[in-house]
Structure 1
């Protein structure tokens, strides 16, 4: 089910102080600069109730924690168009490739790892792996991580 909430990208100096401080508290907690919410809000001289009011609506520009991401390892034949076919398959499934790392081909094969967002994909991960495995030139596909 897709959320109907809108998101806006706003420059920090345009935001009210309470929103900026809420983001700072979250960064302090994530980075280990504060051990608790109480410690972080005290250091920023912020009311705890203000933090709780905004915490669920304030996010950093890119937050992988809020995304459903899978990491896949592929072994591909060193033939023109194989990687392109893999990427087209993912695009056709509404997947969004976040990172690609391809090693130089050795003995006619290349190792590729990629991370992709599963936010808009409606098929199970196993089906994605099967579809990728069926591509001509794909020797092996493995799920190596999920977050």
Structure 2
């Protein structure tokens, strides 16, 4: 029998608004733009009860990624330099590439499986993934695992 996962990775657009506002309230508190929970929840536009109900259940992806590895698959055009551009993004964020596997391109599209170690010095892994997704020629990125 398969063990049920306690965590899920979902894109922001799939997360209910109240949970996004809880994350915003937490950011306000951490950045000291709000001193109290009351101030943070008012600025974020949620009730204190919603904040307390969900505050321990939602957090930005990068907050829980440090010290872990992330495996994702990327479908990208078979263009000179595109793989290098993707790897440079990983390097720019100070993440460490553990494994890399690229298939032989079919119809001008290559599949790349990449496992990246998120170090304590790595920048925001969510931003890293967004930057890779935004590269011209990258058609698809999906996170397969986080260990």
Deviation at 1:128, TM superposition (A): 1.9
**Matching of residue 77 in structure 1 with residue 82 in structure 2:** no
Contact map agreement 1:129 1:142 (CA 8 A) in 2: no
**Matching of residue 122 in structure 1 with residue 143 in structure 2:** no
**Matching of residue 103 in structure 1 with residue 103 in structure 2:** yes
In structure 1, distance between residues paired with 2:87 and 2:136: 13
Equivalent residue runs for 1:30-49 within 5 Å: none
Any unmatched runs of 5+ in structure 1? 1-66
**Would you identify which runs of 4 or more consecutive aligned residues in structure 1 move more than 6 Å?**
none
Contact map agreement 1:102 1:113 (CA 8 A) in 2: yes
TM, length-normalised to structure 2: 0.52
In structure 1, distance between residues paired with 2:126 and 2:90: 13
**Matching of residue 93 in structure 1 with residue 89 in structure 2:** no
Greater CA deviation, 81-90 or 125-134? 125-134
Aligned twin of 1:68: 68
In structure 1, distance between residues paired with 2:96 and 2:82: 18
Aligned twin of 1:39: none
Deviation at 1:72, TM superposition (A): 1.0
Q: Deviations over 1:67-111 (max 9, x none)?
A: 410001000101101100000011001011110010000011000
Give aligned pairs, total.
Answer: 81
In structure 1, distance between residues paired with 2:123 and 2:101: 25
Any unmatched runs of 5+ in structure 2? 1-66
In structure 1, distance between residues paired with 2:127 and 2:144: 15
> Which of these two proteins has the greater Rg computed from alpha carbons?
1
Deviation at 1:122, TM superposition (A): 2.8
TM, length-normalised to structure 1: 0.52
Contact map agreement 1:82 1:137 (CA 8 A) in 2: yes
